[in-house]
């Protein structure tokens, strides 16, 4: 990832597609200022204490002019149906796209699986 692009810890998976760990409202404001157009959340609500609700993040993203999609992926084995649906959802999102999960590992894994289909 170009360190001068996103000022949060993120990994560039593909041109204009990034992955990171849990985002909070203040992070959305920062990435919106840096040109991110779409956010995808791969966490289900209430996975851990202190995790912001997806509806709250979606509201902030909308106010900032970004598209927010919640596509929860359960930790553990990922099904081929999940991968296909994830790939389709990503194709439809405007770039730059920032995908997140708790640590970013889950999002990276499903992205890599989607790239192989």
Out of 32-36, 54-58, 74-78, give the one with best mean pLDDT. Answer: 54-58
Confidence grade of residue 76 (pLDDT, cut at 50, 70, 90): confident
Residue 20 structural domain = 10-115
Residues 44-75 have pLDDT tens digits of 999 999 999 999 999 999 999 999 999 999 88
Domain containing 53 — which CATH number?
3.90.190.10
Tokens representing 58 are: 């979606």
On the question of pLDDT at 37 being above 70, the answer is: yes
Give the pair of three-digit tokens for residue 42.
Answer: 């791969």
Asked if the structure places residue 3 within a domain, the reply is no
Let me know: does 33 contact 45? Beta carbons within 8 Å: no
Q: Does residue 49 lie in a domain region?
A: yes
Identify the pLDDT of residue 22: 96
Q: Is residue 95 part of a domain?
A: yes
Looking at the structure of the chain, the number of domains it has is 1
The per-residue pLDDT for range 81-103, each reduced to its tens digit, is 999 999 999 999 999 999 999 99
Sign of the dihedral through C-alpha 67, 44, 27, 60: positive
Position 9 confidence tier, pLDDT thresholds 50, 70, 90: confident
With respect to residue 4, please indicate whether it lies within any of the assigned structural domains.
no
**Separation between Cα atoms, residue 21 and residue 102, nearest integer Å:** 5
Q: What is the DSSP letter of 94?
A: P
């Amino acid at each position: 990832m170009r360190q001068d692009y996103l000022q949060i810890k993120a990994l560039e998976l593909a041109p204009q597609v990034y992955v990171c760990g849990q985002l909070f409202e203040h992070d959305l404001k920062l990435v919106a200022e840096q040109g991110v157009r779409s956010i995808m959340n791969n966490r289900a609500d209430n996975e851990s204490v202190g995790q912001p609700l997806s509806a709250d993040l979606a509201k902030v993203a909308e106010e900032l002019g970004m598209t927010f999609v919640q596509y929860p992926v359960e930790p553990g084995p990922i099904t081929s149906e999940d991968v296909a649906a994830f790939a389709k959802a990503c194709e439809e999102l405007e770039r730059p796209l920032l995908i997140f999960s708790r640590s970013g590992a889950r999002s990276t894994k499903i992205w890599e699986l989607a790239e192989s289909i």
